[in-house]
Chain A
Amino acid sequence: MNAKLRSTINKAAPPVAAIIALIIAWQVICIICQIPKYLLPSPYDVIMAFEKDWTLMMSHAKVTLEETFIGLFFGIITGFIMASAMDRFEIIRKMIYPLIVVSQTIPTVAIAPLLVIWLGYEMLPKIVLIVLVVFFPIAIGLLEGFSSVDRDTIRLMRSMGANRLQIFIYVKLPNSLHYFFSSFKISVSYAVVGAVVSEWIGGTEGLGCYMTRVRKSFSSDKMFAVIILIAAISLLLIWLTVVLQRICMPWEKVKEKE
């Protein structure tokens, strides 16, 4: 067994053992206390719910993922444009920064019904809601990355005759990647939650809609199953983000080795 595999197992073993212990305890409590399924389904009931509704859940998950990816894409674009504009023009920073901070104090569940009223029951209001929750961490993270460039580096670039665009491309952009990926990981989980919340309010497809239906029919086993599925999707997307970060930032890998 190589050292890397051993280290991975050592890292993963404690949380995996804790999860297994929790599931066993949950199953035992459900059996001993004979808790009704609609109040607290056992892990076995949840697995059965997965088995029964797997195809249906996957078709809903496909829609949610589609919304998530489109929302993430436009959220990142919006965040990037805002961060670049705020970095370039001090006046825009002064005008926009307080507004976007205030915008984040409004709960998404409060905006979602309004978006449905304004934009209908199709995919558009859902994507707009995801963009609204995603752009903020991206914009703030990127702006911090752009601003944190060493002043001496800028001085060196200017002494070489670099223009603003060259400084942006060769220094600010790569310097902000670390900040971007930290924000991106947060945004990914926000995007999935945003998609589900927007599906609660209106529409006929997506894991949020499926969740609303099973809740109304007191199918707690399916409710648990869909919650676990949403968490698993979020975790998978965060893991993909980490992989993407490793590909885009090979110098970090070198630093880790050092």
Chain B
Amino acid sequence: MAELEVKGVSFSYDNENTVLKNIDLSLHDGELISLLGVSGGGKTTLFNIISGLLIPDEGHVYLNGEEITGCSGKVSYMLQKDMLLPYWTVEDNVLLPLIIKGIKKREARLTAGRYFAEFGIDGTQKMYPSELSGGMRQRAALLRTYLFSADIALLDEPFSALDTITKSEMHRWYLDVMDNIRLSTIFITHDVDEAILLSDRIYLLGGKPGTITNEIVIAEPKPRRKDFNLTDEFLQYKREIISKIK
């Protein structure tokens, strides 16, 4: 059974400006899917609907068969910026979702403790976010996202603000971490290469109002080869996606 299902979702602002029309998508256990499309195409609106921050005009969202339309706090959401709160230490930032759930700080610290090493940020617990590099901040934000929900994560262009080298390191690191933690993820990106490299499937979101125009399965098995983005298969996927976006 799919872990997450979006069925027939449509949404408009003020009942006039229709942003999304009849969106269907599914996310299976441990899968990483990407939503690829132009800016202003309604991708973030769709995330807001899945995370329960917006209620769709039509359609439903199901998590493991249970309807969660309009319910926040069910899936974790990481925004474009890392959104680490500058006034809390890295540890406090990471523990925040557990504290919000009502878990005692000592217990939350025990739960989170082992993941700091796994996410490559061990030793930063007592630091403030301003002391971390861009890549480290993203790792901390991803750990916070993971601790909030170990089932489903929505990542809204999490690596877009990083420089090319850091971004490439983060991709490699992310694929390795995903192998271990098997977090089902929906990923928003504008970067075709990033989408092919990280995803099991890619949904193309296009048109006005936004609809799912295509679904592309990336057949390359995981863990991906280190030179996957230099192979002919990769370029074929890229050609296919670019032609369909056009």
Complex-state Cα separation, A255 to B74, whole angstroms: 35
**A242 interface residue, CB < 8 Å from B?**
no
CA A150 to CA B99, docked complex, whole Å: 21
Chain A's interface size range is 20 to 34
Beyond A159-B77, A161-B101, A258-B131, is A170–B96 a contact (Cβ under 8 Å)?
yes
A166 at the interface (CB under 8 A from B): yes
- How far is the CB of A176 from the nearest CB of chain B, in Å? 10
Within 8 A of A (CB), among B83-100: 83, 85-88, 96-97, 99-100
Residue pair A254, B79 in contact (C-beta under 8 Å)? no
Assign chain B's interface to a size class: 20 to 34
- B128 A254 Cβ-Cβ under 8 A: yes
Report if A171 contacts B (CB, 8 A): yes
Check B53–A251 contact: CB distance below 8 A: no
| A 146-191 contacts with B by CB, 8 A | 150, 152-153, 155-162, 166, 170-171, 174-175, 177
State whether the Cβ of A240 lies closer than 8 Å to any Cβ in chain B. Answer: no
Residues of A within 8 A of B96 (CB): 160, 170
Cα(A155)–Cα(B52), bound, Å: 11
Residue A249 lies at the interface, judged by CB distance under 8 Å to chain B: yes
B72 pairs with A254, CB closer than 8 A? no
Known: A249-B87, A251-B86. A161 touches B77 (CB 8 A): no
Q: Which of B133-176 contact A (CB under 8 A)?
A: 148
Q: Which of A158, A250, A251, A258 contacts B72 (CB 8 A)?
A: A158
A152 & B100 in contact (Cβ 8 Å cutoff): no
Q: Is the CB of B72 within 8 A of A159?
A: yes
B133 to chain A, nearest CB (A): 12
Classify the interface of chain A: helix, strand, loop or mixed: helix
Could you give, for residues 76-102 of chain A, a 1 whenever the CB lies within 8 Å of some chain B CB and a 0 otherwise? 000000000000000000000000000
Interface centre among A150, A166, A170, A177 (most CB of B within 10 A): A170
Q: How far is the CA of A158 from the CA of B127 in the complex (A)?
A: 25
Please pick, from B72, B81, B85, the residue contacting A171 in the complex, using a CB distance under 8 A: B85
- Cα of A214 to Cα of B76 in the assembled complex, Å: 69
- In chain B, positions 53-94 with a C-beta closer than 8 Å to chain A are 53, 72-74, 76-77, 79, 81, 83, 85-88
Q: With A251-B130, A254-B128, A254-B131 known to touch, is A160 a contact of B85 (CB < 8 Å)? A: no
Q: Decide if the interface of chain B is mainly helix, strand, loop or mixed.
A: loop
How far, in Å, is B51 (CB) from chain A's closest CB?
4
By the criterion CB–CB under 8 Å, are B53 and A153 in contact? no
- Measured between beta carbons, the chain B residues less than 8 angstroms from A171 are 85
Residues of A within 8 A of B79 (CB): 152, 155-156
Are the CB atoms of A174 and B88 closer together than 8 Å? yes
Are B130 and A160 within 8 A (Cβ)?
no
CB contacts (< 8 Å) of A158 on chain B: these are 53, 72
**Best-surrounded residue of B53, B96, B127 (most CB of chain A within 10 A):** B96
Distance in angstroms from B26 CB to nearest chain A CB is 21
Q: Are B128 and A152 in contact (CB under 8 A)?
A: no
Query: In whole Å, how far is A25's beta carbon from the nearest beta carbon of chain B?
Result: 46
Is A160 within 8 A of B87, CB to CB?
Answer: no
Which chain A residue shows the least CB distance to B81? A152
**A238 CB to nearest B CB, Å:** 23
> Do A159 and B73 touch (CB < 8 A)?
yes
User: Is B87 a contact partner of A258 (Cβ separation < 8 A)?
Assistant: no
Which residue on chain A has the smallest CB distance to residue B141?
A: A156
Minimum C-beta distance from B139 to chain A (A): 17
CA distance A155 to B128 in the complex (A): 22
Q: When the two chains form their complex, are residues B100 and A255 in contact, meaning their CB atoms are under 8 A apart? A: no
28 contacts between A and B (CB under 8 A): A152-B79, A152-B83, A153-B85, A156-B77, A156-B79, A156-B83, A159-B51, A159-B72, A159-B73, A159-B76, A159-B77, A160-B72, A160-B76, A160-B148, A161-B101, A170-B85, A170-B100, A174-B85, A174-B87, A174-B88, A177-B87, A250-B128, A251-B128, A251-B130, A254-B127, A254-B128, A255-B86, A258-B131
Given A157-B100, A161-B101, 13 more A-B residue pairs with CB atoms under 8 Å apart are A155-B79, A159-B53, A159-B77, A160-B73, A160-B77, A161-B100, A175-B87, A250-B128, A251-B128, A254-B128, A254-B130, A255-B86, A255-B128
